[in-house]
């Protein structure tokens, strides 16, 4: 009975994942992209550790993250163009692609800036729970916009991912509610919508162009917006030390160019809904990084949360 129910859930999830707008791909291609997405989520999950080590202002941190990722995306886009026909760069820049990338860059700039602000105003628990409502937004909008109808498997995975993320932050580090907790919670919700907008705009751009070009335009526009935000917030744009530059460089190359690049690439065959849920796996990587680098030993609730997130990832795996 359980095996029969699981088979039905998997079939539903598979049929939902093959919406008309998702690239036609073989099972092997989708499975490969799924593991690439996991690698990307692992890289992105390390960004929280590097943010703490860099000790740079919020918007400035986001700007340098983009700046160090840009050279990688330039090379990526150039390598992609080598395998294409003699179409000019101007001809390949579909206005719909450009505007989707600019929207993605703005959304990601809003997400990163507000996330760093929210962390200073509310509890870590509230922040993680609220900011990881982004997959809910993505699944709902993807259903309407991209016709990625959520299956039983996707809905179950979504619930497991959010519950797991909530448990993963039960570290007990904050004993009292901060004075500006309400403002921090509002910033967290806004950051969630920002990240959802980034995923959905990237998904839109993938309909009209390749990963390297999309990532390059998105990172460039995001860097411009982050620099503007940093100026308006009165931040110092310069990292305080050479060590901070090193941490920001690793963040840009590993977490963004590698992590977000792989997630954008995988989105072509997996869709926005699956991508957004699997990216929650990054929370487990963040907790593991806190254990390794800052001695923040996870408790039983966090271990249980990690198990739930892994279960969500398994449910999302292509069949």
The CA distance from 107 to 103, in Å, is 6
Report d(CA 254, CA 261) in Å as an integer. Answer: 10
DSSP letter for each residue of 80-131: HHHTS-S--HHHH--HHHHHHHHHHHHHHHHHHHHHHHHHTTS-HHHHHHHH
Contact partners, residue 143, CB within 8 Å, separation at least 6: 149, 150, 273
> ∠242-244-245 over CA atoms, to 5°?
65
Q: Which of 264, 314, 309 shows the shortest CA–CA distance to 288?
A: 309
> The tokens of 100 are what?
């989707």
pLDDT of residue 129: 66
Query: Which of 199, 291, 269 is CA-nearest to residue 36?
Result: 269
Token pair recorded at residue 110: 């809003």
Return the closest-CA partner of residue 195 out of 115, 118, 264, 254.
Answer: 115
Residue of 10, 314, 312 whose CA lies nearest to 163: 312
Environment class of residue 292 by beta-carbon count within 10 Å: exposed (0-12), middle (13-18) or buried (19+)?
Answer: exposed
pLDDT in tens for each of the 319 residues of the chain? Answer: 434 434 444 444 444 344 444 545 577 888 888 888 888 888 887 777 777 778 888 888 889 999 999 999 999 988 887 755 555 555 567 888 999 999 999 999 998 888 777 766 766 656 666 766 777 778 877 777 777 777 777 788 888 877 877 776 654 444 445 566 677 778 888 888 888 889 889 988 888 888 889 999 999 999 999 999 989 888 888 888 899 999 999 999 998 999 888 888 888 777 777 887 877 777 777 667 666 766 666 677 777 877 787 788 777 776 6
Report pTM: 0.75
- Rounded distance, CA 181 to CA 236, Å? 25
Packing angle of the helix pair 152-168, 281-294 (nearest 10 deg): 20
End-to-end CA distance of the chain: 19
């Amino acid at each position: 009975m359980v095996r029969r129910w699981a088979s039905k859930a998997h079939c539903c999830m598979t049929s939902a994942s093959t919406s008309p707008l998702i690239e036609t791909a073989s099972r092997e291609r989708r499975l490969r992209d799924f593991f690439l997405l996991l690698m990307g989520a692992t890289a992105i999950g390390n960004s929280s550790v590097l943010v703490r080590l860099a000790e740079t202002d919020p918007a400035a941190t986001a700007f340098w993250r983009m700046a160090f990722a840009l050279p990688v995306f330039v090379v990526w886009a150039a390598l992609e163009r080598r395998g294409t026909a003699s179409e000019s760069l101007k001809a390949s820049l579909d206005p719909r692609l450009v505007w989707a990338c600019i929207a993605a860059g703005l959304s990601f700039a809003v997400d990163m800036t507000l996330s760093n602000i929210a962390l200073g105003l509310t509890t870590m628990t509230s922040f993680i729970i609220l900011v990881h409502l982004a997959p809910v937004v993505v699944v709902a909008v993807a259903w309407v916009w991209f016709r990625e109808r959520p299956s039983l498997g996707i809905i179950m995975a979504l619930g497991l991912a959010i519950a797991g993320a909530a448990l993963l932050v039960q570290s007990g580090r904050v004993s009292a509610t901060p004075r500006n907790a309400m403002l921090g919670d509002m910033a967290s919700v806004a950051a969630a919508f920002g990240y959802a907008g980034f995923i959905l705009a990237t998904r839109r751009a993938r309909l009209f162009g390749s990963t390297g070009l999309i990532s390059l335009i998105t990172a460039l526009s995001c860097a411009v917006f982050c620099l503007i935000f940093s100026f308006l917030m009165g931040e110092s744009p310069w990292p305080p030390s050479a060590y901070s530059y090193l941490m920001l460089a690793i963040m840009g190359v590993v977490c963004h160019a590698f992590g977000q690049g792989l997630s954008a690439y995988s989105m072509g065959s997996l869709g926005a809904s699956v991508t957004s849920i699997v990216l929650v796996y990054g929370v487990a990587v963040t907790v593991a990084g806190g254990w390794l680098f800052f001695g923040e030993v996870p408790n039983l609730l966090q271990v249980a949360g990690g198990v739930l997130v892994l279960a969500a990832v398994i449910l999302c795996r292509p069949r």
